[in-house]
Amino acid sequence: MKFLLPILIVLSSISISFADSLEDSPSIAKCNEELKRCTYVSQNITARALVSRINSIMFPGSILTPEEGYINVESLKKLNFWLTNEELKTRFIALLPLLDSFEEFNPSALVQLTTEIYSVSEKGFNHMSAQIASATTDTGDATDVVLNTLGGGTIDLALKLGSNLLGSVLGTRVAREEVSQVETVTQLIPNMADINYSHGSTVFVSPTPGIVKEAKAGLNIGGTVSINKFDSELVVLKNYNFNYGVINPSIDGEVTAPVTLLSIQNPQLYLVKDTSTMVVSTHTVREESGREWGLGLFGRSKDKLRTKLMVVTRATAYSFQDYIRQLKKLRRLDLHRSFSELEINNFPGDSISMGTVLKSVKPYSLQTPSGQKILGMKIDKSFARKDNIKKSIEVSIKGGGIKQEAILTLENLMLSGIKFNPLGLRYLDKKVIKLKVELKPFRGSRTERVKLKLYYNPRTNSFIQE
């Protein structure tokens, strides 16, 4: 018996080491926007087990409809998926590597870190600078932030400013035309964990016979996230480093430097909820078509000179419980298609005319931090009755460059509403945009049709109340 304890200790050490060696680093989901298909190869558990874990968090007790997307287990380790709602898809992708683990997924706190890269023309840069300056002259909302830049690129502007202000500036017509979003990376990282993102390729160039130059193109982000003990809205990125390499176009068949590298480093980058750190650096790159790590792949117009790169960084801290509550709220807002049995049983027993119901349209307007304006409308669900919620409604929206038609049940329009197609860029400078909305029961008579006019102010991103 005297020798049993040492033997057990040795065996325990061996088993722990063996378990550690079995767990691989999670992979990264790859998406093809044209095919509407994302793929993830599980490293530590089966694809079916991974789907079960993520379904229990994001879609408990429900099944995705074809309109919402799909999740398909292709093989033992491979799953394919697509979600039409962009925010749900981003969260789904962020959760995959966290759930692809031997351990139970129950972190105490999470940080959602978002990095956005834009290519900006000189005109776009001047416009944004003027807009930010005019908005912050009296309030002092924009403050300088200290960053070190290495490699190619000179810092033209380094600011901290409110995400709402940045979104408003990016949503203007000039910015939409002169600023192109190059890449967006959203990561969900446990508190005190490392940031480890890499997406790029190695470039080889032979400027002269017998000489080969090698460089890294693409994006690399590193550091460690830490939530402040006394203020959960304050997140510190320790030893933050950002590297973005852009392939240089050849001139007369010659390339002296294959990649222009923008490298930003900061030992402690402080990020506060609802604020953005914006860094603009000088890079002269002409937009061209082609599958390369250059600005041309992402620009909206060919042969347009994009002289600058703009990097925007945001962070939001969540308790795990708050994050799950937010997911459930998002599920109800965007994908909830039917009333519960309890809700239906509590409907009023009186009847109400369809005309009255269809006139209860409530428009809404939102704006993302990247400047995208999201418009839509819902029907007042207080008018829901047992005899009307399953009726189909023909919907037509016209104006502001929008020409949209849909057929949805009254239940859909009350719970999820309808999101409008994007406004045309040339309308964003107008003081008001008139939208014509028509609703009528499916195959109903013209006398049952309801016509409404909605007036939208693009400058304030709000609907005008008459």
Q: For residue 45, what pLDDT is reported?
A: 86
| Cβ atoms of residues 193 and 157 within 8 Å | no
**Considering only 90-99, 218-227, 303-312, 402-411, which range has the smallest mean pLDDT?**
303-312
Q: For residue 252, what pLDDT is reported?
A: 54
Q: For residue 121, what pLDDT is reported?
A: 85
Q: For residue 11, what pLDDT is reported?
A: 30
Q: Regarding predicted confidence, which is higher, 421 or 168?
A: 421
- Please determine, for residue 257, whether its predicted confidence score (pLDDT) is greater than 90: no
The mean pLDDT value for 31-59 works out to 90
Q: Regarding predicted confidence, which is higher, 144 or 209?
A: 209
The mean pLDDT value for 277-296 works out to 54
Residue 266 CA to residue 268 CA, distance in Å, equals: 5
- Please determine, for residue 126, whether its predicted confidence score (pLDDT) is greater than 80: yes
Residue 267 CA to residue 64 CA, distance in Å, equals: 44
Residue with tokens 């997307």: 69
pLDDT tens digits, residue range 317-332?
888 888 877 777 666 6
Other CB atoms within 10 Å distance of the CB of residue 447: 7
Percent of the chain with pLDDT over 70: 75
The mean pLDDT value for 105-130 works out to 82
**Considering only 62-66, 200-204, 241-245, 378-382, which range has the smallest mean pLDDT?**
200-204
DSSP symbols for 386-448: TTTTT-EEEEEEEETTEEEEEEEEHHHHHHT-EEPPPPPGGGTTSS-EEEEEEEEETT--GGG
Average pLDDT value for the chain: 79
Locate the domains of the chain by residue range. Answer: 20-99, 109-320, 337-463
- Please determine, for residue 302, whether its predicted confidence score (pLDDT) is greater than 50: no
Q: For residue 136, what pLDDT is reported?
A: 67
**Considering only 133-137, 186-190, 422-426, which range has the smallest mean pLDDT?**
133-137
| Cβ atoms of residues 81 and 91 within 8 Å | no
Q: For residue 73, what pLDDT is reported?
A: 94
| Cβ atoms of residues 128 and 374 within 8 Å | no
Q: Regarding predicted confidence, which is higher, 46 or 21?
A: 46
- Please determine, for residue 204, whether its predicted confidence score (pLDDT) is greater than 60: yes
The mean pLDDT value for 129-147 works out to 62
Confidence of residue 165 (pLDDT cuts 50, 70, 90): confident
The mean pLDDT value for 133-156 works out to 52
Confidence of residue 15 (pLDDT cuts 50, 70, 90): very low
171-to-119, 344, 409, 428 alpha-carbon distances in Å? 15, 40, 32, 8
pLDDT tens digits, residue range 398-452?
999 999 999 999 999 999 899 999 999 889 889 999 999 999 999 888 888 999 9
Q: For residue 296, what pLDDT is reported?
A: 37
| Cβ atoms of residues 155 and 149 within 8 Å | yes
Rg (CA), the chain: 26
**Considering only 77-81, 123-127, 143-147, which range has the smallest mean pLDDT?**
143-147
- Please determine, for residue 291, whether its predicted confidence score (pLDDT) is greater than 50: no
Q: What is the pTM of this model?
A: 0.64
- Please determine, for residue 118, whether its predicted confidence score (pLDDT) is greater than 70: yes
Q: For residue 370, what pLDDT is reported?
A: 77
- Across 365-394, b (16+ Cβ under 10 Å) vs e yields bebebbbebebebbbebebbeeebbeebbb
CATH class belonging to 337-463 = mainly beta
Q: For residue 102, what pLDDT is reported?
A: 67
Q: For residue 398, what pLDDT is reported?
A: 97
Q: For residue 56, what pLDDT is reported?
A: 86
Q: For residue 28, what pLDDT is reported?
A: 86
